[in-house]
Amino acid sequence: MLYNVSMEIAFIDGENTKGRIRDVFYKYKLPTPDWSAYDFKGLFDNAFKLHPVTNRKFFRALPKQHPDIVEESKSLLLSYRNLGGHLSRQGFEVIKAGTLRADYRNEYDNKPRYREKGVDVSLAVAMVVFACDKLTDNAYLVASDSDYQPAVAEVRKRGTKVTYVGFEINPNLGLIAKTNNRIIISDADVLKFGGIDTNKISV
CA separation for the pair 49, 52 (Å, rounded): 8
pLDDT value of residue 3 = 46
Say if residue 172 is exposed, middle or buried (CB neighbours under 10 Å; 0-12, 13-18, 19+). Answer: buried
Digit-by-digit pLDDT tens for the chain (203 residues) are 444 455 899 999 998 999 999 999 999 999 999 999 999 999 999 999 999 998 999 998 776 665 555 566 566 666 778 888 999 999 999 998 876 655 655 555 555 565 666 688 999 999 999 999 999 999 999 998 999 999 999 999 999 999 999 999 999 999 999 999 999 999 999 999 999 998 888 87
pLDDT value of residue 1 = 42
Residues whose CB falls within 8 Å of the CB of residue 170, separated by 6 or more in sequence, listed in order: 20, 23, 144
Predicted TM-score of the model (pTM):
0.86
**CATH class in words for 7-200:** alpha beta
Domain residue ranges of the chain, discontinuous segments joined by +: 7-200
Closest CA to 12 of 73, 64, 53: 53
Q: Alpha carbon of 95 to those of 14, 58, 98, 132, 163: distances in Å?
A: 9, 6, 10, 20, 20
